[in-house]
Amino acid sequence: MQNKIKEFDKAKELIVLMSSASNLEEYEEHWKEFLHKLDRGFNKLRDLYKNEKRAQQILNSIYKARTSDPLIAYLMQARNSDEHSMHQITEKMDGYTKIIGGAGGGTIDSGVIEGGMRPSNLKFKGNLEVQFQAEYLSIIPIISRGQRYDPPNICFGENVSSQIPHQIAIIGLNFYIQKMVMIEKVTSP
The secondary structure of 27-86, three-state, reads HHHHHHHHHHHHHHHHHHHHHHHCCCHHHHHHHHHHHHHHHHCHHHHHHHHHHHHHHHCC
Q: Rounded mean pLDDT of 1-9? A: 69
Closest to 19 measured CA to CA, from 129, 159, 164, 128: 164
pLDDT of residue 33 exceeding 90: yes
Q: Strand 154-155 to strand 147-149: parallel, antiparallel, or no bridges (unpaired)?
A: unpaired
User: Sorting pLDDT into bands at 50, 70 and 90, what band is 81?
Assistant: low
Query: Collapsing DSSP states into helix, strand and coil, what is residue 22?
Result: coil
| Residue, of 62 and 149, whose pLDDT is higher | 62
Percent of the chain at pLDDT > 90 equals 45
Calculated CA dihedral for residues 39, 41, 42, 47, nearest 10 degrees: 130
The angle subtended at Cα 169 by Cα 175 and Cα 163, nearest 5°, is: 120
Each residue's pLDDT tens digit, 89-143: 777 877 778 888 888 888 888 777 776 667 777 788 888 888 777 777 888 888 8
pLDDT of residue 154 exceeding 80: yes
Q: Rounded mean pLDDT of 153-169? A: 88
Other beta carbons within 10 Å of 168: 24
pLDDT of residue 86 exceeding 50: no
